A and B are shown apart, each in its own frame.
Chain A
């Protein structure tokens, strides 16, 4: 069945426009509407936690950092200019907080002697799982270990790209480094992971 032009345009006009909706939510949140900010929070919480995890690479810390990101965003909404998108602005706050956190923590981690195993030890035990589940878990463990081998900068770039799906321009803006640096870090990170996981590739 063909729709007439009028009917089609009527239907199109009813399709919600996320950008327009978001602009309105930001405007309302700026004037103190916590409900509007709550909607933005629901919309971006997963990605903000993902960005914090990419940089901090620790689940508990990522949750804390993401909470702090939204608090900072709420307090500084008046400073948000529409030069970048709201999401990129949020991710940048998350990344900056995570970078600062990582710098502070790096000293404590050395003192406590923590390593990648502490994070991985939280994974559930293999008892009672199928062979497939066990091997999948083992594979994930290997990958997590390999990711931990990367420098924080290379780890952040590859996780933001591969897990969070950010574009090179977004990564460049979030981590505040040139696009060329994003490309070279990504190339290095991929090559390094390929090398670290070579035996998996061959298997």
Chain B
């Protein structure tokens, strides 16, 4: 069992409910049998009650208003100032900006869809090359294996000149040449 000396140190925290459960139990058991410690605990409690009664917090009439008045004279915090600054701009230009952005997005999508490059991408890169080689075979004899790229281009240009219905389009970035030939 805990001694009075040990227990007296714990009486306050015991009354405040700030001890570990096993300590609470030890103090509770001790004060059942110890009149001195029980008396000390009672007087701590009485002091607490007396303090709450004697220490009076002053009336707060007008306190909040006084603080609010002082706040009025202060500069607003930075995030608030930025928000307030942006507010009229958003109100004024917000609708126009939204409309413009929508129109721009629609224009980009439309341009992408009607561009041959985009169609090429959509159909796959291999397909046009295959068409080229098939149709080219029908129009001209196959070039000699040693023929250079410029020779082929020259041949194709000749074909284009001879037959106005043939169209030629060269895409150097992807090293692709597309020829439209009527069936």
Contacts and interface: CB of A to CB of B under 8 A. Distances in A.
Contacts of A63: 58, 63
A71 B54 contact: no
Contacts, number: 117
Contact of B12 (A66, A70, A190): A190
Contacts of A143: 50-51, 53-55
A8 to B, nearest CB: 30
Interface string A163-203: 10001100000000000000100110010011001001100
B35 to A, nearest CB: 14
A54 to B, nearest CB: 8
Contact of B18 (A74, A136, A139, A167): A167
Interface in B57-81: 57-58, 60, 63-64, 66-68, 70-72, 74, 76-81
Contact of B64 (A32, A41, A167, A197): A41
B120 to A, nearest CB: 51
Interface in A20-34: 30-34
Contacts of B9: 187
Interface residues of A, number: 47
B63 A147 contact: no
A140 B54 contact: yes
Interface stretch (A85-93, A98-106, A125-133, A154-162): A154-162
Nearest to B15: A190
B24 to A, nearest CB: 14
A66 B63 contact: yes
B74 A30 contact: no
Nearest to A123: B56
B67 A67 contact: yes
B79 A30 contact: yes
A162 B52 contact: yes
A38 B70 CA distance: 12
A59 B76 CA distance: 30
Nearest to B66: A67
Q: 9 nearest interchain CB pairs?
A: A32-B80, A140-B54, A143-B54, A59-B58, A32-B76, A162-B48, A162-B51, A70-B67, A168-B18
